[in-house]
Amino acid sequence: MKDSVKLLNLLLAFVLVLGISSCGDDEPEIDGPSVTQPDAVSVTEGESITITFSATIAAGYASNSVTATGGTAEVTEAPEAGATTGTFTISFQATTAGAGSVTLTVVDANGKSGNNTAVITIEQEPTTITVSDNISGTETWETGKTYILGGRITVLSGATLNIQPGVVVKGQAGTGANATALLVARGGKLNAAGTASMPIIFTSIADEITPEDVAAGNFASPNLTADVSGLWGGVIILGKAKISASNKTSGSDVSEVQIEGIPTSDSNGLYGGNDDDDNSGTITYISIRHGGSNIGNGNEINGLTLGGVGRGTTINHVEVVANQDDGIEFFGGTVNVNNAVVWNINDDGIDTDQSWAGKLENFVVIAPNTSEAHCFELDGPEGTYEAGHTIKNGTVVASAGDRKATDLINVDDNSIVALENIFITGLKTGQDINRTTASGVTFTKIELNVPSGSTLQDFVTGTIPSGVTAAATPSAGVGADLSVFAWTWASTATEWPGN
């Protein structure tokens, strides 16, 4: 009997233990993290985008990981440890055009994980960009791309435009107030840093040249001849250096004026001041072509206009081809320019005004061509402030084919300029050096290749200055160093000196 009772008690205990165990098995398991899938997004190659995931994490957040295709990704924001819900912010940098993705994995305190994937379309980076707004901050135009000027685009005061080697900048067609141009206002900076193998090209939208052409070493316009001009504006750089100007009504001095080619309604066209060390940036290895569109009453934009530009600005290795107005014009300022080429200009090759106080050194001018065109138009001060400039080490081709300048060197009675080491060839009847008695103008080693049957006097108005002589070839130290211009379009032309 006792054995039966013991057996019954053991059986009851087993059933009780089994019941308790069964009750424990009925407790629900805590689910792992649930991560929502964001909406599909698109991004341009080379740019970044922010993607947000949300998650429910019943056991509490512990950690995460992220993977990506078509670019790189990193988590920039996540919930605090132990949080049961939250959002995850991910920065994705697109690197390869096509399909991309970002996968987020979330791990909870129990070691369980959940994930989901954002689908991304990565669009190819555009290589032609239309610029319609002024530059107000720091902006970079990148190698391999073409930038279309949708109007007069201004680098505003305090802003900087960086242009990388090989960039092609094209101006849309326009005249009058709608003439396209790149204008650097006072206080703005242009860093257009080309190289001899990758120059920066400023041209018309009608020009079919591409960055690929430039990268391949083909710098000439493929579809426009080198005498097509007036298709867009040009490049205008304005600074805060001193100028010599006066009020046309009162005759009193003024320290700032509006640059020609820009409507007076645009205050960004003002130039001049008192900072001779002003810095408007660095411009090197650029070719400006097919410009000089008319803004009204026969007033065209120069290829390169420098108004009140300070000596803190670096300008060298510049080519201007086929401009409707002057090649390079200086309005006061103190900037120096080295290694410049002006070819096929429809007005003056080099024009100086308002007491420019800098130096032009090592240059070539080839056949400016209109009834009033001059190789050099060197005007005097317009106010009481007086300063002079130096033009030295140049080679001038006064005529080429049926194109020819009128005056070789045209100065005013009050001009202040030192002309040194310049060889002038390609002379034709009617071309001359005028006002050789201007007291502020000096001539040192100015050599003219006088054609057979003519004399030096035929090309000089008045008494021949002691520094002007005839020479069939330039003497030592006279003329330009032509070797530095091998990168230019002009150097490939038959009109190039020595070709």
State the Cα–Cα distance between residues 68 and 115, nearest whole angstrom.
13
3: in domain: no
pLDDT in tens, 327-358: 999 999 999 999 999 999 999 999 999 999 99
The reported pLDDT for the residue numbered 27 is 57
Find the CATH number of the domain harbouring 119: 2.60.40.10
pLDDT per residue as tens digits for the range 169-224 = 999 998 777 789 999 999 999 999 999 999 999 999 999 999 999 999 999 999 99
Q: Is the dihedral of CA 281, 237, 137, 93 positive or negative?
A: negative
User: Is there a single domain that holds both residue 333 and residue 383?
Assistant: yes
Residue 26 counted as domain residue? no
Of 62, 93, 123, the last residue of a domain is: 123
pLDDT band with cut points at 50, 70 and 90 for residue 371 = confident
The alpha carbon dihedral of 19, 20, 23, 29 has a sign of: negative
Give me the number of domains the chain comprises: 2
Contacts of 380 (CB under 8 A, 6+ apart): 355, 411, 412, 413, 414, 415, 416, 440
* pTM as predicted: 0.84
Q: Examine residue 27 and state whether it is found in any structural domain, yes or no.
A: no
Both 106 and 133 in a single domain? no
Residue 499 lies in a domain: no
- Show the domain range for 82: 34-123
Strands (DSSP E) along 405-485, which ranges? 407-411, 417-425, 432-433, 441-448, 468-470
Q: Are residues 115 and 254 in the same domain?
A: no
Q: Tell me, what's the pLDDT at 125? A: 87
Residue 264 lies in a domain: yes
Residue 357 lies inside a defined structural domain of this protein: yes
Tell me, yes or no, whether 24 lies in a domain: no
Residue 163 shares a structural domain with residue 252: yes
Residue 298 in this model has a pLDDT that exceeds 80 = no
Q: What angle do CA 453, 491, 433 make, to 5 degrees?
A: 40
**Domain match, 115 and 192 both:** no
Total number of residues shown for the chain:
499
Q: Which of 73, 105, 123 is the last residue before a domain boundary?
A: 123
Q: Give the tens place of pLDDT for each residue, 54-86.
A: 999 999 999 999 999 999 999 999 999 999 999
User: Same domain, yes or no, for 344 and 448?
Assistant: yes
Residues 6+ positions from 405 with CB-CB distance below 8 Å: 349, 367, 368, 369, 373, 374, 375, 398, 399, 431
Return the pLDDT at 113.
Answer: 97
Residue 92 φ then ψ, to 5°: -115, 125
Task: Report yes or no on 15 lying in a domain.
Answer: no
Contact 228, 175 (CB under 8 A): no
User: Is residue 237 scored above 90 in pLDDT?
Assistant: yes
Same domain, 118 and 136: no
